Amino acid sequence: MNILLIDIGNTRIKWGLAEDGSWLRQGWALTAQPAELGKALTALPLPDRILIANVAGASAQTKVAAVLPATAQPACWLISAAQQCGVRSSYVDPAALGPDRWAALIGAWHLTGSACVVVNAGTTMTVDALNGEGVFLGGCIVPGAALMRDALARDTANLAHRAGAFSYFPDNTGDAIFSGTVNALSGAVAQVVQYLQQSSGTAPRVLLSGGDASLIEARINGTVTVVDNLVLEGLLQIAQQAD
């Protein structure tokens, strides 16, 4: 059985076609250009089922739905649950959790089966704690790297966009902005790692995904594993459970 999995983010739409649990193809398109997604999908074998996680709003959902291939079953749009695929949610309203975060947690649990901090560094960065019993304890959301720099450029007089590189002790404004952004992102991860370690008694792994993963990978202490398309991995587990 062929299953098409789609992760609609604020910036990019990632997709993957899987058959019997193995990936056949993966790719992405800009969220602002759903027609490009449609072109890519026309070159694929017709899927038997489609499962989608969408955090880009109703307009994006409508536009993506218009370019989906026809299938015997209508496309399923993921809603986060209280319990699924071995993961239990501690969110006050489980359905209010972003479906991308929920799918990533399920993907992380499938890959590790142990306590871990699940990080998706994209337009925003989410940092979620999963304990050794598969319970999602909670997490935080912070602006991503581009949003941080955009806020400085927009809301200050002298911190317009400029080139910069990471430095422990920046000696120019460009490096200071870039380094501050990296430190803020990696610091958010470090805090959640510390909280989870204090509550569990063991150092958790960090699973890192998203377009800005490379910015912070080297700045996170502990065992860090970069997983491309972690949301798609979780969607695949959910789709297989539903078979």
User: What are the residue numbers of the active site?
Assistant: 100
Q: Is 3 left (phi over 0), alpha (psi -120 to 50) or beta?
A: beta
Which residue is associated with the tokens 């202490």?
221
The answer to whether 76 and 52 are in contact (CB under 8 A) is yes
The answer to whether 223 and 142 are in contact (CB under 8 A) is no
The answer to whether 14 and 26 are in contact (CB under 8 A) is yes
Selection from 110, 148, 114 nearest residue 231 by Cα: 110
The answer to whether 108 and 87 are in contact (CB under 8 A) is no
Distance, in Å, from the CA atom of 153 to the CA atom of 173, rounded to the nearest integer, reads 12
